[in-house]
Amino acid sequence: MKRFSEIMGAYTAVDRWLEEQLAEAAAQNQPRREKGLQSRQAMNDHAYFVLLFGQFEIAVNEACIRAIKSRQAATNWLRRRGWDILRPDDRRLGGLSFEDRVALVLDRRTEDYRQVKRYYDIRNMAAHGKFQGDYLDIGRVAADLQTLFGRLSA
């Protein structure tokens, strides 16, 4: 997650500015401006969420490539079988869906996998302009994604 901290720094700066503008609008009793700024905050949260999740997607892909190549390198066919059909050098890893790529590096039966799936659903909606609720707690999302990153296994 190479640019994760940089993205969080940019988010924090923009969010702080929006909060200042919102406080100013409230102090000046400008409800229409407040409503517009709240809408911008929600959009900003979702936009940065998509950027952060994109970093996590890259990490998942890299972990998948390592896992596939490691298993394909096994001399024992019983360990290697099933992995030989995957194409780690293909841009989309041989057409594997994101959920399947996650399942190669996180156990589908865990809460970690379910959390990734929930975030992936929000990411898909946000990327198409549909916002899940008004705000996302980006600090919480960032912490969750970093924890999940640490749990990816290759």
Q: Which pair of tokens denotes residue 68?
A: 């596939």
Tokens for 137, please give them.
């707690």
With contact defined as beta carbons under 8 Å apart, do 145 and 53 qualify? yes
Q: What are the tens digits of pLDDT across the range 73-104?
A: 999 999 898 898 899 988 878 789 999 999 99
Helix 138-151 with 111-127: angle, nearest 10 deg: 130
pLDDT tens digits, residue range 117-144?
A: 999 999 999 999 888 776 789 999 999 9
| Amino acid 99: pLDDT | 96
Query: Could you tell me which residues come within 8 angstroms of residue 8 by beta carbon, excluding any fewer than 6 positions away?
Result: 52, 138, 142
Biggest alpha carbon–alpha carbon distance for the chain = 72
What global pTM score does this model have?
A: 0.91
